[in-house]
Structure 1
């Protein structure tokens, strides 16, 4: 897993990879946003819904913990070893949005997520056990790893997926 020496490095990588990812959607038409193609496991709209769902979910864990609520990860009624239902809930939550709206939601949410990330101190970001939600799995990751695995990593892997989708759609 990629590591970051500073919060600024992490934020810079989020900004870079998020822009590269969302730019891949510029030449996708509204009529193709829900097109599922053999060889790619999600539609373009589902790829964006997935990103929106995870970004919102992580920030909600932190908000809930700070307000004294019990945080259940990944979410109530979902288990880490069965995330398909959670992904479907993300798809359903955003299915009525146009591609244009999804892209704008994504851009706005990435900005909000970066602001949220920037509010952590170095100790909060890199320390273990700082937040209960971050220590809720056996890996007990520090917050920066949760941020990386739900931003930079999927922005890169989903960029590959959307490129494959576009190649198949052009055939």
Structure 2
């Protein structure tokens, strides 16, 4: 996993990978946003729903922490051994929306993640044991908050961009 020097570098990497990722959706007609291809595991709408779901959860974990509410990871409804059900919930919750609404929702989440990053100190982002939710989400590994941000933004924006590009070649 990439290591960042500071929050500026983290935000720059999110911005760079996100711009490339989200640009892949601009020329997909809404009429085919749900079209699946056997070679790709998600339709464009499901791809965006997955990203909206994880970024929404990330923001919820930090918001709940700040409100003094007990944080349940990955969510109040699902445990870590139920990720398949969680992914289906993301699809049911978001994928039915029009493509422009999905894009706008994810844009808003990314902007909110930038605000979240800015609201944290460098220590809160990059040192271990700064958030109880981060400690409790991983039973054996020590993950700093930035790793949760990276794994729910930069990493999937890169890998899912490849998937959506492949889908476009096969379907458009």
Deviation at 1:142, TM superposition (A): 0.4
Shift of 1:59: 1.1
For 2:154, which of 152, 155, 159 is the aligned residue?
A: 152
> Aligned partners of 1:68 and 1:151: how far apart in 2?
25
What is aligned with 1:80? 80
Q: Which runs of 5+ in 2 are unaligned?
A: none
Using the TM superposition, give the Cα deviation of residue 12 of structure 1 relative to its aligned residue in structure 2, in angstroms: 0.3
Rounded Cα–Cα distance in structure 1 between residues aligned with 2:95 and 2:149: 25
TM-score by length of 1: 0.95
What is the rounded CA distance, in whole Å, between the counterparts of 1:94 and 1:148 in structure 2? Answer: 22
Give 1:69 shift.
1.4
Alignment-derived partner of residue 98 in structure 2: 98
Moved over 6 A (4+): none
Structure with the higher fraction of residues in helix conformation: 2
Q: Distance in 1 between matches of 2:103 and 2:13?
A: 19
CA shift digits 1:80-121 (9 cap, x unpaired):
233111111111111331001111111122111111112110
RMSD (Å) for aligned C-alpha atoms: 1.1
Greater CA drift, 124-133 or 88-97: 88-97
Q: Which whole-Å deviations, capped at 9, do the CAs of 1:42-100 have from their partners, x for residues lacking one?
A: 11001111111111101111111222211111113422233111111111111331001
Q: TM-score, normalised by structure 2?
A: 0.94
Instruction: State the partner residue of 2:144.
Output: 142
Partner residue of 1:163?
A: 165
Deviations 1:109-157 (A, max 9, x none): 2111111112110110011111011111121200011100000000001
Q: Secondary structure at the match of 1:81?
A: helix
Runs (5+) with no aligned partner, structure 1: none
